[in-house]
Amino acid sequence: MVKKYHKDKGTRIKDEEYTFKIKDVFLSKLGRVTVLDQSVNRPSLVKFNIGESINRFFSKHPNVPKNPKEWGSKHSEYEMEIIEDYGNKREGTDMKVRFLKMKSNNLLK
């Protein structure tokens, strides 16, 4: 599983506009585990579902830099908003329930 995550974290987001990778957005344990969870269950959908969540985030926040490396002290705040969207809207079996369990796990905070 660890190898699977390391492979997926280098995946580009499915949107030609973005030049960053998944690892640039998700720095937290919860973010990384949420990506890993979907990559094990629905690997082909990870880049699409994350891309959709990021598109929704930037639609709500047009003034936020498009490069996560420029988010600075706001990175964790922006990341959490994207994780909430992605965790609840990603495609796969019981993804909402699984995300709630991950969010409530103290080891992932």
Domain that holds residue 19: 2-108
Residue 14: other Cβ atoms inside 10 A: 16
Reported residue count of the chain is 109
DSSP letter at 12 equals B
- For residues 79 and 7, give the distance between their C-alpha atoms in angstroms, rounded to a whole number: 20
Total domains in the chain come to 1
Pull the structure tokens for residue 106. Answer: 């103290």
pLDDT in tens, 11-33: 556 556 778 888 899 999 999 99
Instruction: Compute the mean pLDDT over every residue in the chain, rounded to the nearest whole number.
Output: 87
pLDDT of residue 47 exceeding 60? yes
Model pTM?
Answer: 0.85
Distances (CA, A) of 89 to 8, 11, 58, 70, 83: 19, 19, 16, 26, 10
21: left (phi over 0), alpha (psi -120 to 50) or beta: beta
Average the pLDDT over 81-85 and give the result. 98
Q: Is a pLDDT exceeding 70 seen at residue 87? A: yes
